[in-house]
Amino acid sequence: MAYADTEKSFVHRQTAQWVHPLGDMVTSLVEAGLRIELLEESARCVWPALKAMEETSEHTWELPEPWRGRLPASFTLVARGVR
């Protein structure tokens, strides 16, 4: 079950999107004085981030073959302030 109703249609369809490359995010954290403790990529996502994604298990989505497991779909990043 998604947190949003995927069956609803929207009247106002104008969107705004921003690209946040992983390198920019990591660099910003380091420049802010944080220490990166963990950075893991995953081929799975907990929502269908792209229309091509297929549900592979309950609440898990992946890209179809031949891309399955080859491209990251999400990441986990842990950063802490340096004391």
Only one residue has tokens 């802010």, namely: 32
Convert the pLDDT of each residue in 28-68 to its tens digit. 999 999 999 999 999 999 988 888 999 998 889 999 999 99
Peptide bond into 66 cis (omega under 30): yes
Cα 83 to Cα 4: distance, rounded to the nearest angstrom:
40
Q: Mean pLDDT, to the nearest integer, of 14-36?
A: 91
9 confidence band (pLDDT: 50, 70, 90)? confident
Residue 7: per-residue pLDDT: 80
Which residues share a beta bridge with 40?
76
Residue 59: per-residue pLDDT: 85
Widest pairwise Cα distance in the chain: 49
The residue that leads in pLDDT, 5 or 39, is 39
Residue (of 21, 23, 18, 19) closest to 36 by Cα position = 23
